[in-house]
Amino acid sequence: MSVFFFTFAVKEKISLNLLDSRPHLLHSSPLKMTVNNQAYRTIWEKASDTRVIQIIDQRYLPHEFVIEDISTTEQMATAIRDMHLRGAPLIGAAAAYGMYLTIVNEGSNPTDDYLQKMADQLLQTRPTAVNLAWAVNLQLTALTTCHSHEERLATALKMAREITDSSVEKCFQIGQHGLSLIEKISAAKKGETINILTHCNAGWLACVDYGTATAPIYAAHKKGIDLHVWVDETRPRNQGARLTAWELLQEGIPHTVIADNVGGHLMQHGKVDMVIVGSDRTTRCGDVANKIGTYLKALAAKDNEVPFYVALPSSTIDWELRDGVKEIPIEERHANEVKYIQGMYDGKIQKVLLTPEESPATNFGFDVTPAHLVTGLITERGVCSADEEGIMGLFPDGDKES
Ligand code: MRU
């Protein structure tokens, strides 16, 4: 079907109107985000067989809801690289389960070299989101203490569950802290509709539940605050138009999809009260890598005195880095993602060519917004200034705390 996606795992397609018949699928925390009124996370262990991990295959949204079974580390690496799943916190959880699958499929006593080889498969998939390396390294460290296959299996599963559940908890807390910011704006506007602009998808589909940038939005909507979301379409992969719009629709939140270049115009005309975006990697000094185009929104926000917030769990902070523009690796993806566009036509998901076939294209996945353009960071511990002092004030022990 597609020129750039290669699927090895079994796919189960279900139409949206059949979703109500699916069982609840999770082992622990309560589920919060819903699809057709049924609660879902983005990744879980198959109810009938915990050696199989299931994910929502996001390549087909918003047109089809597809659950994919993943049974090997290779399949998980493919799912991350080819963006069956995406978004920094979810990539971290998926990588943790990817290491668990290494143990599931390796009955004997794996050498350190073998574990590192499997880890490298995952680490090489996407370079910008630091949650990937964070989760893989947590697994590798935990596994070094194990002496038997049973112990390794239990340890890797426990670690994958902890990383997944802690993402949910952190996103919930981000929602609560971001809610106070929205409440203040709502009070200042005397209850008038608040317009929030977001870029890409930093929603529950990018995490395990709730989302980062969307968590405050969901919390405010649940509290009855009148809000409306401007959704940047986010070329080339259109995570805003496809995924954020779909999420907001499921939750009944008023929103409007806009072309990527519209935000500045809206800000000039007082139609944006705040911007909230996510982060794939944040330096200890507050520079933020996020989906390509975020930087331009931050510049427009600064010029128009619109508050620009970045919502992130501490697992997204790279404590080793200070200068984001110089130090954060920026993923470059296939040019065909720019040259082609995917959508539903004639009842089928299809890709069409946009450019002259011979024209070269280039595809940087992320850019870095320097800290001085960021009004504040919304973390699971509270809101802080985007600088070392602010971040260390909330996380005094740095990487030992995430
Ligand atoms: O390329 P993607 O879709 O993985 O990029 C996702 C983003 O840029 C998100 O904004 C980021 O991961 C934050 S997710 C809560």
Q: How far is the CA of 54 from the centre of ligand 1 (A)?
A: 20
Q: Measured between alpha carbons, how far is 163 from 394 in angstroms, rounded to an integer?
A: 20
Residue 273 Cβ contacting ligand 1 at under 6 Å: no
373 Cα distance to chain centroid:
22
Residue 239 Cβ contacting ligand 1 at under 6 Å: yes
Residue 242 Cβ contacting ligand 1 at under 6 Å: no
Long-range Cβ pairs for the range 183-192 (8 Å, 24+): 183/220, 183/223, 183/225, 185/273, 185/274, 185/307, 186/220, 186/225, 186/226, 186/227, 189/273, 191/226, 192/226
Residue 236 Cβ contacting ligand 1 at under 6 Å: no
Q: Using an 8 Å Cβ cutoff, are 288 and 324 in contact?
A: yes
What Cα–Cα distance (Å) separates residue 65 from each residue in 11, 13, 58, 219?
11, 7, 8, 25
Residues 46, 47, 53, CA angle at the centre, nearest 5°?
10
Catalytic residue check, 280: yes
Domains and CATH numbers, the chain: 2-166 (1.20.120.420), 177-401 (3.40.50.10470)
Q: Measured between alpha carbons, how far is 66 from 303 in angstroms, rounded to an integer?
A: 42
Residue 165 Cβ contacting ligand 1 at under 6 Å: no
Residue in 58, 208, 279 to alter for ligand 1 test, most ligand atoms within 8 A of Cβ: 279
Q: How far is the CA of 291 from the centre of ligand 1 (A)?
A: 6
107, HSE (Cβ side, Cα atoms, 13 Å):
0
Q: How far is the CA of 367 from the centre of ligand 1 (A)?
A: 11
Q: What is the pTM of this model?
A: 0.92
Q: Using an 8 Å Cβ cutoff, are 72 and 105 in contact?
A: yes
Provide the pLDDT for residue 153: 96
Give 131's contacts (C-beta < 8 A, 6+ positions apart). 88, 89, 91, 92, 95, 280, 315, 316
Residue 105 phi/psi, 5° resolution? -90, 0
Q: Whose CA is nearest to atom 8 of ligand 1?
A: 291
Provide the pLDDT for residue 23: 32
Query: For the chain, what is the radius of gyration of the CA atoms?
Result: 20
**What would the two tokens of residue 87 be?**
């978004």
Q: Measured between alpha carbons, how far is 136 from 82 in angstroms, rounded to an integer?
A: 18
Residue in 291, 366, 379 to alter for ligand 1 test, most ligand atoms within 8 A of Cβ: 291
84 Cα distance to chain centroid:
12
Of residues 204, 222, 200, the one with CA closest to residue 214: 204
Provide the pLDDT for residue 191: 85
Give 261's contacts (C-beta < 8 A, 6+ positions apart). none
pLDDT in tens, the chain (402 residues): 222 232 333 344 444 433 333 333 333 444 468 888 888 999 999 999 999 999 999 999 999 999 999 999 999 999 999 999 999 999 999 999 999 999 999 877 889 999 999 999 999 999 999 999 999 999 999 999 999 999 999 999 999 999 999 999 999 999 999 999 999 999 999 989 999 999 999 999 999 999 999 999 999 999 999 999 999 999 999 999 999 999 999 999 999 999 999 999 999 999 999 999 999 999 999 999 999 999 999 999 999 999 999 999 999 999 999 999 999 999 999 999 999 999 999 999 999 999 999 999 999 999 999 999 999 999 999 999 999 999 999 999 887 666
Catalytic residue, candidates 82, 165, 232, 280: 280
Q: Measured between alpha carbons, how far is 402 from 397 in angstroms, rounded to an integer?
A: 9
In this structure, the strands spanning 382-384 and 376-379 are antiparallel
Give 358's contacts (C-beta < 8 A, 6+ positions apart). none
Q: Whose CA is nearest to atom 12 of ligand 1?
A: 87
